[in-house]
């Protein structure tokens, strides 16, 4: 069976780097949505807790339920169907109508659209929204926004950041007027965190950096992160192939000289994105994936019992014309996880 190995040393290394950059462990909320970007929700949540992280971010209430014993605060990004609730849950309000749906005393973070035009209420309706939250007797525990270009070389990031700073002043004044506690303010994802020094917000929502990646390194304050996940596959069968024989679907790989090859048990059915004759990939040990990736198999010029498919997805992301996030997140949650400490 193929497996994912999680390198605990690298994970702790990354958490140390992000915590130091943010100022403390308390300022880090680890983003664990989508099965912790394919790394395993429970496995990563348990490690983060062991390191001393107290906050997490997920997409759904069901995810929050699974990890509620491990964190003091869990931010739920896009699910307000509170079939179950815990006082550690904080629900993101993505639109004005959400306010009326939530039961009294629910902890909420109000999301403000500062330019991404995805979710959140508009800047003009902040005051109205806070009054409605107050009247609905919800606990306003956070104010948040999300950057549209934290990892791109433009000044847009700094512009959005300054808009959010102005919002902070307005909200603080309003909360004082209403005798409400000042909520936590947060805007940064991984690349937002590494775009500047002297982090001055209450929380950074760190996703990809904890797993060892960032996009567009050159823009960021050299975080020196280490990939946490490696993917391993097991040999199914070996055989000798002769010059000019063809391997796999479409016979797209033509053997150049007699050699021994094997099939291994990983394929696009496991969420390992399909490679083909146009996208040639070599494993960390220098073996080549021969021809097309099948649903459950790859052919490789090796006879090793187990093979490391990747220990860093940067190259694969480039080949697939995508980002590191997609390579790890698409991996099937059923692939078993092993923690290497
Ligand atoms: C996914 C997500 C993050 C984490 O982003 P990374 O780039 O992986 O650090 C932060 N905030 C929100 C709202 C998200 O949806």
- Taking residues 51-59, what's their average pLDDT? 98
**Summary count for the chain: helices (H), strands (E):** 10, 16
Residue nearest to atom 10 of ligand 1 (CA): 189
Q: What is the pLDDT of residue 41?
A: 98
- The domain boundary, picked from 165, 185, 211, lies at 211
Q: Which of 147, 205, 326 to mutate to test the pocket of ligand 1 (most atoms within 8 A of CB)?
A: 205
- CA angle (148 as vertex; 142, 153 as ends), nearest 5: 130
Mean pLDDT over the full length of the chain? 94
Do 249 and 189 belong to one domain?
no
CATH of the domain at 150: 3.20.20.10
Q: Tell me, yes or no, whether 1 lies in a domain.
A: no
Q: Are residues 256 and 161 in the same domain?
A: no
Structural domain ending residue among the three candidates 211, 244, 267: 211
Paired with 184 in beta bridges are 142
pLDDT, position 37: 98
The answer to whether residues 198 and 96 belong to one domain is yes
Q: Is pLDDT at 318 greater than 90 in this prediction?
A: yes
The Å distance, Cα 76 to ligand 1 centre, comes to 12
pLDDT(226) > 80: yes
The answer to the question of residue 111 being in a domain is: yes
Residue 205 CA, closest ligand 1 atom number: 10
Pocket lining for ligand 1, CB < 6 angstroms: 31, 33, 77, 146, 189-191, 205-209
pLDDT for 166 equals 95
pLDDT of residue 277: 78
Residue 217 inside a domain? The answer is no
Residue 157's pLDDT band (boundaries 50, 70, 90)? confident
Please state, for a pLDDT cut of 70, what percent of the chain lies above it. 100
Please state, in angstroms and as integers, the Cα–Cα distance from residue 6 to each residue in 9, 197, 265, 307, following that order: 9, 30, 19, 15
Residues 184 and 243 both lie in one domain: no
- For residue 293, is pLDDT > 90? yes
Q: Render pLDDT for 195-223 as a digit per residue (tens, 0 to 9).
A: 888 999 999 999 999 999 998 777 777 78
Does any domain span residue 252?
yes
pLDDT at 165 over 90: yes
Judgement on whether residues 190 and 317 belong to the same structural domain of the protein: no
Q: Which residue, by CA, sits nearest to atom 6 of ligand 1?
A: 207
228 Cα: distance to centroid of ligand 1 (angstroms): 18
In a shared domain, residues 70 and 191:
yes
Is the predicted pLDDT of residue 176 greater than 90, yes or no? yes
Range of the domain at 196: 8-211
Average pLDDT over every residue of 81-92: 93
Domain count, the chain: 2
Together in a domain, 37 and 186: yes
Domain co-membership, 150 together with 73:
yes
pLDDT at residue 196 in the model: 86
Q: Do 179 and 324 lie in a common domain?
A: no
* Two structure tokens written together for 327: 């390579």
**What per-residue confidence (pLDDT) applies to 36?**
98
At 252 the three-state DSSP class reads coil
The verdict on residue 116 lying in a domain is: yes
Q: Is the pLDDT of residue 119 over 90?
A: no
Q: Is 182 domain-assigned?
A: yes
Residue 221 falls inside a structural domain: no
Best residue for ligand 1 mutational test, from 94, 147, 189, 216 (most atoms within 8 Å of Cβ): 189
Which CATH number characterizes residue 257's domain? Answer: 2.40.37.10
For the packed helices 41-51 and 8-22, what is the interaxial angle rounded to 10 degrees? 60
Does pLDDT of 52 surpass 80? yes
Question: pLDDT tens across 241-287, in order?
Answer: 999 999 989 898 999 999 999 999 999 999 998 888 788 899 999 99
177 and 252 in a single domain? The answer is no
- Determine phi and psi for 140, rounding to 5 degrees: -80, 100
Q: Are residues 159 and 269 in the same domain?
A: no
- Which residues, 6 or more positions from 141, have their beta carbon under 8 angstroms from its beta carbon? 90, 107, 108, 109, 183, 184
Asked if residue 325 and residue 187 are part of one domain, the reply reads no
DSSP tag of 183: P
Among the three residues 182, 211, 240, which one is the final residue of a domain in this structure? 211
Task: Tell me how far apart the alpha carbons of residues 263 and 73 are, in angstroms, rounded to a whole number.
Answer: 45
**pLDDT score of 61:** 97
Ligand 1: residue of 35, 207, 215 to mutate (most ligand atoms within 8 A of CB) is 207
Cα dihedral value 189, 194, 199, 200, nearest 10: -40
Within a domain: 222: no
Q: What is the mean pLDDT of residues 226-230?
A: 98
Catalytic machinery residues: 33, 249
């Amino acid at each position: 069976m193929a497996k994912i190995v999680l390198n605990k040393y690298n994970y702790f290394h990354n958490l140390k780097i992000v915590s130091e950059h943010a100022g403390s462990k308390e300022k880090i909320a680890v983003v664990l949505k989508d099965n912790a970007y394919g790394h395993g929700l429970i496995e990563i949540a348990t490690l983060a807790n062991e390191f001393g992280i107290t906050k997490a971010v997920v997409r759904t209430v069901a995810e929050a339920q699974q990890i509620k014993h491990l964190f003091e605060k869990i931010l739920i990004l896009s699910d307000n169907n509170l079939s179950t609730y815990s006082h550690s849950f904080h629900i993101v309000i993505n639109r004005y109508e959400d306010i009326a749906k939530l039961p009294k005393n629910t902890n909420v973070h109000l999301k403000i659209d500062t330019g991404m035009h995805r979710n959140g209420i508009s800047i003009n309706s902040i005051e109205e929204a806070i009054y409605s939250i107050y009247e609905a007797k919800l606990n306003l525990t956070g104010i948040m926004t999300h950057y549209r270009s934290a990892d791109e070389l433009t000044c847009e990031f700094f512009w959005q950041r300054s808009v959010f700073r102005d919002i902070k002043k307005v909200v603080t004044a309003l909360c004082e007027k209403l005798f409400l506690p000042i909520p936590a303010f947060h805007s940064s994802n991984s690349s937002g965190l590494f775009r500047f020094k002297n982090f001055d917000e209450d929380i950074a929502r760190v996703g990809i950096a904890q797993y060892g990646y960032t996009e567009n390194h050159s823009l960021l304050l050299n975080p020196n992160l280490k990939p946490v996940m490696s993917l391993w596959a097991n040999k199914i069968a070996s055989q000798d192939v002769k010059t000019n024989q063809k391997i796999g679907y479409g016979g797209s790989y033509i053997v150049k000289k007699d050699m021994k090859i094997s099939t291994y048990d990983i394929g696009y059915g496991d969420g390992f994105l399909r490679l083909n004759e146009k996208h040639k990939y070599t494993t960390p040990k220098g073996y080549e994936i021969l021809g097309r990736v099948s649903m459950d198999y790859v052919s490789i010029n090796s006879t090793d019992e187990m093979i490391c498919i990747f220990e860093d997805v940067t190259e694969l992301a480039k080949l697939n014309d995508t980002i590191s996030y997609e390579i790890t997140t698409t991996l099937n949650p059923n692939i078993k996880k092993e923690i290497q400490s």
